[in-house]
Amino acid sequence: MRKSEDRKSGPNIVVNAVMGGATGFMFAMILLLILAVLTAMGKIPEKFMREATVLACGLGELIGAFTAAKRQGGRTLIIGIGSGISMFLLTLVISAFTEQGALSGALTPAILIAIMVGGIFGSFLCAAPRRSRR
């Protein structure tokens, strides 16, 4: 039996990048929920929420890019950047519908940088070391 053309091809890069962005977004939302509870309890001062938001987005994308690159197998840097772009677009679309001034705020470039750095580091964590040829 021959394999069809659909089954011959490897995992789809775009699908894995979007799934990595969605995974990173959900992980970032869980981290933000935990940080909100800690702030409400008084464990974290409220003045650190801006930095905590950027940190949660970066860590969320780190996990998302790592899982997407692990699922893809190869081309880890492309997957990390693609999942970072998809998570940022998802965050941007959701913030456009929830708050009026969220798109023009000073926090948007910091979140973009944190998401992209998290995506690149997450893909590098998954990259296998090169084997030496004999």
Domain boundaries of the chain, sorted by first residue: 14-126
Q: Sort 5 into a burial class: Cβ within 10 Å, 0-12 / 13-18 / 19+.
A: exposed
Which tens digit of pLDDT belongs to each residue from 2-51? 555 555 455 688 888 889 899 999 999 999 999 999 999 989 898 888 88
Give a three-class secondary structure readout of 51-103. Answer: HHHHHHHHHHHHHHHHHHHHHHCCCHHHHHHHHHHHHHHHHHHHHHHHCCCCC
- What was the pLDDT predicted at 69? 85
Least confident of 10-14, 60-64, 82-86: 10-14
Mean pLDDT along residues 90-108: 72
CA distances from 64 to 8, 12, 87, 89, 130 (A): 26, 16, 9, 14, 23
Claim: this prediction has a pTM higher than 0.85: no
